[in-house]
Amino acid sequence: MRKPRKCELCHEHEAVYAMQYIADIVPSLYTLGSHIRGFKITRVCAECGAEQKYVAEQTKQFMALVVSPPNINFIVTTVPETPASEL
């Protein structure tokens, strides 16, 4: 008897995807069996797989914003506008 593989993240649902990180922080999802050999895989269910991918994409976008471009102009404090002379 062979039990279906459980998702390694929620341990509730049946794993349907092999999640792999191929030279990127965003995981690639492959159906079990068609994943790329030689890369570490995490067996995940459809829900967890989609969630991991979404979170990773958000993180990647956020990191891209933080890391580049180094726009320091907005850091410079602007002097509050005061009227030169009040009549």
Binding site for Zn ion (CB under 5 A): 7, 9-10, 13, 45, 48
Kindly report the CA angle at 84 between 81 and 85, in degrees rounded to 5? 130
Dihedral class, residue 46 (left if φ above 0, else alpha if ψ from -120 to 50, else beta): alpha
Q: Would you say 52 or 61 has its CB closer to Zn ion?
A: 52
We find the least distance from the C-beta atom of residue 35 to Zn ion, in angstroms, to be 17
Q: What's the CA gap between 23 and 25, in Å, rounded? A: 7
Q: Would you say 19 or 45 has its CB closer to Zn ion?
A: 45
Q: Would you say 7 or 18 has its CB closer to Zn ion?
A: 7
We find the least distance from the C-beta atom of residue 75 to Zn ion, in angstroms, to be 42
